[in-house]
Amino acid sequence: MMVLSTATVSMVANDHAAQLSKCEGGNSLHGDIAVTFEINAAGRVTKSQVSSTIKNIKVVSCILTAVRSWPFPKPPSGAAKGVYTITYQ
């Protein structure tokens, strides 16, 4: 299965920066969140999994829900996987 480039994932994430900052909700966050996902031929997320060192479950689940809703560019191979990572200092 094809892997989406970090640049592609970042580009899509940047398009949804407002949605992500709503999830953060002004909380002071420390740690990492990584959402691993697969997309289908239409660029829609079909599977996703999150791992996080952040204890704020609301924020983590909001970010996971956000990534699941993002449309990605259609992969030439018909499906692809990717990882979206955020680090809070």
DSSP E strands in the chain: the ranges are 2-3, 31-39, 45-52, 80-88
pLDDT at 85: 97
Amino acid symbol at 35: V
Give pTM, 2 decimals. 0.94
Other Cβ atoms closer than 10 A to 7? 8
Note the pLDDT of residue 27.
86
Q: What integer pLDDT is reported at residue 76 of this predicted model?
A: 92
Contact 71, 82 (CB under 8 A): no
Burial of 48 (0-12, 13-18, 19+ CB in 10 A): middle
Per-residue pLDDT 10s for the chain (89 aa) are 899 999 999 999 999 999 999 999 988 999 999 999 999 999 999 999 999 999 999 999 999 999 999 999 999 989 999 999 999 99
> Taking the domains of the chain in order of start, what are their residue ranges?
2-88
